[in-house]
A and B are shown apart, each in its own frame.
Chain A
Amino acid sequence: MNGRRIEEGVFQGLMIASTLIIFLTLGMIIATVVAEGLPALSLQMITQTPQGGYYLGKEGGVLNAILGSLFLAGGASLLALVMSLPVVLYLNVYSHPRSPLSRFTRFSLDVLWGVPSIVYGAFGFTLMIALGLKASLLAGILTVALLVLPIMCRAMDEVMRMSPPELAEASYSLGATRLETALHILSRQCLPGIVTAVLLAFGRGIGDAASVILTAGFTDALPTSLLRPAATLPLAVFFQLGTPIPEVRERAYASALILTLLILLISLLSRLLARKFTRHVVR
């Protein structure tokens, strides 16, 4: 009897410890970025582009990278949404859930999810050359869209699989076609999940450095054209951190802080939006 009590105690302790590690990691990451970056964070950082000699500690900011990242992740998420919605609607409305095709589709998506982002970067690079593109915002968007596509698909798929089949049946019994059922019923029922999936993908896309280093390139100019290179925050962090000048390294942390805040904001926004869209959801 006593042995089992000890066992229970030990494992509960382990569970609590593991959970604490999660909080601690999150807390320490935020603390580090804030402590190192906050002193260098100024209005100038978020309103100006790098001026001459910025990487030597002179005037300027990372507005180029902030806008570049937002455009890139936004464009990629939008593109990925347009590609993944048909996939998940096909999987959940048209194909049979246990058919070989849907199993293979889900398996492929899981494999794609696991592919490292540098591989996407390399693939995007060859794709870019094949399409005759130069390192540009467009090439970056295409690559990141591919990177976040499996995440978005699987996140939406999981939500749609939870939708009760009777709901679709109710729609069919009124004489609705599969397309009408997919667009009016399933999409609406799963709207909170779709919003979450898009923002999840956005968060993943905005934070990735490896996939954009070869495809989007980097520039000190603001992103004004799809066919020009675009700066991104992860790369801005990377370049600034690599200099020996302390002021510049501080700004790297400030840039990381900006990126973290953006992602935090998106997470909060996704929670808020998801809650707002649950209004009509049927349980």
Chain B
Amino acid sequence: MDFKTHISVRDLSVSYGTAVALKNITVEIPEKKITAIIGPSGCGKSTLLKSFNRMIDLAEGARVSGAIVVDGENIFDPGVEVTAIRKKMGLLSQRPFVLPMSIYDNVAYGPRIHGTGSRKVLDPLVERYLREADLWEEVKDRLSQPASRLSVGQQQRLCLARGLAVEPEIILGDEPTSALDPKSSRKIEQRFLELKDDYTIVIVTHILRQAKRLADYVVFLYLGELIEAGPAQEIFRNPQKEMTREYIGGTIS
């Protein structure tokens, strides 16, 4: 599979105190594809994802070495503006956390902090991203209501719209459907499949079937080490490593 690299991870190691979470990870994440990071829990999937937008900075006692290059720039360079890195990447967490404000303000929050204040610009923006997240029809008559009144599935789509509104290049999902019912999960997955034409999408999932449904590219981690990475077809049909075969076959989990 030919691809253009969007995120290039080079010899990345992360440890929390004495516990090593990631060991010398080197991997390329393709542009405008869906990449699934799979592996059993505790294998470092979330740590890798958190490193991409430097949310790892907030983790207690986390030490990072190596580099992650996005658009030719190492995001761990001391001179890099961390807010600019994060603006480039929308994040969907395991459980949706809407902001304590109205539905409208949730979507407008990102654009506002990045300098778009006027209602005239914001109104069409809010509508556009709510549509992109497939939520507009459900909320268009109650935009001023508190976002916390939405259902969990709707909240996750609102979080997606909120993330899209800062115009990121990359969407990160940390098991983004794990708190959702099957129908809401389906909707989120559907959005991902449509959004991958415009965005690089990286999701962490421990649901193999979800990875099979969505992924173009798969990264398999086990106990903090990269076991195998490659196009989804190849990884799922013909894994090269014994460990991958066992994980996909269900022998280890």
Measured CB to CB, the residues of A under 8 A from B are 96, 164, 166-167, 169-177, 180, 184-185, 188-189, 279-283
B95 at the interface (CB under 8 A from A): yes
Number of interchain pairs (Cβ within 8 Å): 79
Flag the segment in B18-26, B158-166, B211-219, B225-233 that touches A: B158-166
**What are 10 pairs between A and B in contact, CB < 8 Å?**
A167-B100, A169-B97, A172-B58, A175-B114, A180-B113, A189-B100, A280-B146, A280-B147, A280-B148, A282-B100
Q: Which residue of chain A has its CB nearest to the CB of B110?
A: A174
Smallest CB–CB gap between B130 and chain A, Å? 16
Closest chain B CB from A170 CB (angstroms):
5
Q: How far is the CA of A175 from the CA of B168 in the complex (A)?
A: 10
Chain A's nearest CB lies how many Å from the CB of B86? 4
Find out whether the CB atom of A177 lies under 8 angstroms from the CB atom of B83. Answer: yes
Least CB distance from A274 to B in Å reads 14
Note all chain B residues with C-beta closer than 8 A to A175: 83-84, 86-87, 110, 113-114, 166
Contact for A281 among B97, B148, B166, CB less than 8 A:
B148
Which listed residue, A169, A176, A280, A282, touches B93 by the CB 8 Å rule?
A169
Interface residue tally for chain B (C-beta within 8 Å):
30
B8 interfacial by beta-carbon distance below 8 Å: no
Query: Max chain B CB contacts within 10 Å: which of A167, A169, A174?
Result: A174
Cβ distance A93 to chain B, nearest Cβ, rounded Å: 11
Q: A175-B166, A281-B100 are in contact. List 11 more A-B contacts (CB 8 A).
A: A164-B97, A170-B98, A171-B99, A175-B83, A175-B110, A176-B83, A176-B109, A184-B113, A188-B100, A188-B101, A280-B102
- Cα-based distance from A170 to B100 in the complex (angstroms): 11
Give complex CA distance A15, B86 in Å. 53
User: Do A279 and B146 contact each other (CB < 8 Å), given the known contacts A175-B110, A188-B100?
Assistant: yes
Q: Tell me the bound Cα distance from A164 to B90 in angstroms.
A: 20
Check B95–A184 contact: CB distance below 8 A: no
A281 to B, closest residue via Cβ:
B100
CB distance from A164 to the nearest CB of B (A): 7
* Interchain nearest-CB distance for A222 vs B (Å): 42
Least Cβ distance of B43 to chain A in Å? 21
Are B97 and A172 within 8 A (Cβ)? no
Say yes or no: A282 contacts B98, CB within 8 Å. yes
In the complex, chain A residues whose CB is within 8 Å of the CB of B100:
167, 185, 188-189, 280-282
Q: Once bound together, how far apart are the Cα atoms of A176 and B166, in whole Å? A: 11
* CB–CB A173/B99 < 8 A: no
Least CB distance, A184 to chain B, in whole angstroms: 7
- Docked Cα-Cα span, A74 to B151, in Å, equals 41
Q: Is B154 part of the binding interface, using a Cβ–Cβ cutoff of 8 Å?
A: no
Max chain A C-beta neighbours (<10 A), residue from B60, B87, B113, B166:
B113
Is B55 among interface residues, defined by CB-CB distance under 8 A? yes
Contact of B109 among A166, A177, A184, A189 (CB under 8 A): A184
- Please measure, in the bound complex, the distance between the C-alpha atom of A118 and the C-alpha atom of B148, giving whole angstroms: 46
